[in-house]
Amino acid sequence: MNINFTYLPGDGIGPEVGAAALRVLNATASAFGHTLEIEEHLLGGIAIDTVGTPMPAETLASAQKTQAILLGAVGGPKWDHLKGADRPELGGLLPLRKTLQLYANVRPAKPQSALLDASPIKAEYLEGVDFVIMRELTGGIYFGDKGRDALGAYDECRYSEAEIERIAIRAFEMAKTRRHKVTSVDKSNVLETSRLWREVVIRVAKDYPEVELEHTLVDAMAMHMLSRGKDFDVILTENMFGDILTDEAAMLCGSMGVIPSASLGEGKLGLYEPIHGSAPDIAGQGKANPIAMILSAAWMLRTSFDLVAEAEAIEAAVTLALDERQCTGDIGGTLSTLEVGEWIADHAGR
C-alpha cells in the first residue's frame, strides 16, 4: 500500500519529534510491506521566515490532496510581535483546520501504568481513568470577530446550531463504541452560546437513547477531571474550553509529551499532531519527548489509512519503551529524542 501524507515539521521541537516519528513510520511500513510517500512542506514560523507567510499556497494544496497531515508544532516567542493573521497560529494552523473543515479534535486521556509515578496526581486518582475529549475546533471565540477600539479589545464567540450538532453527533457516535456516556461541558449559567450548546446537545441525545448524557459547567469540570477522572468517558466541549481542559488532562498522563491528538472532518482526512507546543527553550537539544508525535503517527495509520495492525505495532512498542524506561528525561529516561525514535522503530518493525 502507498501511504501518501503531508508532513509539516513546523517550529521549535517539531522537526526533532517529527524525525523520530518518521523513523518509526519507515520501519513499520517496511515491516508490513508498505511504501511511504511523504510530501514535506512549511507551516508556521518557519514558513514566515522562509517565504514570508505562515501558510504557503503549496502547503495548503498538498494538505487538500493527500489523505492525512502529520504536524509537529507551530509558533513560538520569536513571532509574538506579529499581529493577527501574520502570526504562525492565526495565519497558519487555524486557517488550515478551518479550510479543511477539521471540526473535531479528539484527545485521549488514559494514563500508562509505567507513568503513574510521573503524574503530579496521586496514583489512586489515576487508576481506571480512560476518557476522550471531543473538542469543537473550527468555531467559537478563536474564529470570531476580534480587534481593538478606543475602549479596549474584543473577541466575539459565536456558534451556529449546525456547528454544535455535528460535533455532538461525533461525540455520541464515539460513546457508542466506548462506555456509552457523554459529558457535555459548557458555561450555560453565564454564556448565551453555552445555552444554545446545551439545547442542541440535548436534542441530539434523543437519537442516542443507549448513551447517558450529563452536563457539567466548565469550572466544575476543571476540578472533577482531576478528582474523579475515571467517571468520564467522552467529554464534549467547545473550542476554548477544550483547549484548556485537554492540557489539564495531560497531567493525568504524566507528561504532555505522551499525548497524541487527531483533528478530523468528514471522510478519512485528518490532521495528527502531539498536544504539546513548540518548546523553543529545548529545541535542538535532543531533550524533546517524541512519544506523542509517534502515537499521533500511529493514529494516522489507523484512522486515515485503516492500517490497524500497523498502528497497534507502534503502540505496543511505545508501551514497551515506557515499561523499560527507554525514554527521554522528562519521564525518567536517559535517551535523546532520536534515540527514543530509533528504539521504538526497532521494536515496531519486528
CA-CA distance, 151 to 194, in Å (whole number)?
A: 26
Q: How many CA atoms lie within 13 A of 309 on its CB side?
A: 7
By annotation, the residues acting in catalysis are 142, 187, 219, 243, 247
- Burial 97-113, CB ≥16 within 10 A → b, else e: beebebbbbbbbbebbe
Q: Where do the DSSP E strands lie in 45-156?
A: 68-73, 104-109, 131-136, 146-149, 152-155
Q: What is the CA radius of gyration of the chain?
A: 20
Three-class SS of residue 110? coil
Q: Give the sheet arrangement for strand 181-186, strand by strand.
A: 35-40, 2-10, 68-73, 270-274, 260-264, 104-109, 131-136, 234-237, 181-186, 212-217
Q: Directed axis angle between helix 192-205 and helix 161-176, to 10°?
A: 50
What is the CB neighbour count within 10 angstroms for residue 64? 13
| Nine-digit cell string for 330 | 522528562
| Nine-digit cell string for 124 | 489512586
Question: Which of 18, 41, 43 shows the shortest CA–CA distance to 300?
Answer: 18
Alpha-helical (H) ranges within 206-336 are 218-227, 239-250, 291-305, 308-323
HEC assignment per residue over 168-232: HHHHHHHHHCCCCEEEEEECCCCCHHHHHHHHHHHHHHCCCCCCEEEEEEHHHHHHHHHHCHHHC
Rama region for 29: left / alpha / beta (φ>0; ψ in -120 to 50; rest) = alpha
CA-CA distance, 200 to 196, in Å (whole number)?
A: 6
Beta bridge partners of 149: 152
